[in-house]
Structure 1
Amino acid sequence: MFGLVEQTIRFRLVQWGKAYVDLLRFALVEAGYEDKLSQIYDFSLALELGVSTSTGRTLVEMGLSRITASNIAVLMLDSSKGVKEIKEWFAGKPESLLQLSNIVIDELKEKGLLESSFDQIV
């Protein structure tokens, strides 16, 4: 089973996904639809990172682990937040963060997204 997951899902499907996105980009450019390139969702990168939204991808790019990024992305209603919007969301100290594990909260504090006294503030 592990071999199947490792070789088929983690490698082969990710590679096929990358090839598909590359071909789609090429076809759009050839057809004169360069303006549509930014709308292509890079699902192979999402598979590699273990996140399924643009917000989740941004959280990983901000240095959070996949587990923390996935937990936080679920709490955010907008699945396409950028860095600025994510920082603003954290600044609002949403009560939904209280349901997260201490490990996730500690990582958020370590990355400077939450104040060290967060649990006392809310």
Structure 2
Amino acid sequence: MVKTKFVYNSDILTAGWVGSVPCTKNITTETYLVNKNVYQYPQIYNSHSGKSLPAPTKANMKRYKPEDRVKKDKDIRNIRWYIGKYSDPKWDWSALDIHHVIHLEYGGDNKMGDLYALTRTLHQLQISPWWRGYR
């Protein structure tokens, strides 16, 4: 693929009985966001908060120059906010990364709705490589 886009899982079902005319139906079951490397955006669920990692809703976001991007906020308030909203999971926060749902390079910000706690390994081995393939 040349660029990131949404793809659809589509199935064709055919059923019939002996001596009858078969009935065929096309079914589109799910929509997936895939990057130019044909990797699906990871589906991740946080069992503590009960929230799934939201996927970007656009496949054609504008790329911002570094000087026009929101600067990454490394403030501890993100952890305090999480604990205040979902209670203290007793995690080792030093082993976690706070992921921007919309990458700062594509207009993300430091608002709590754009942040999601991930293990550093998951963030670096699945999410960051997916974003490197976003174009």
TM-score, scaled relative to structure 2 = 0.25
Structure (1 or 2) with the greater strand fraction:
2
Structure (1 or 2) with the greater helix fraction:
1
**Higher CA-based Rg:** 2
TM-score, scaled relative to structure 1 = 0.27
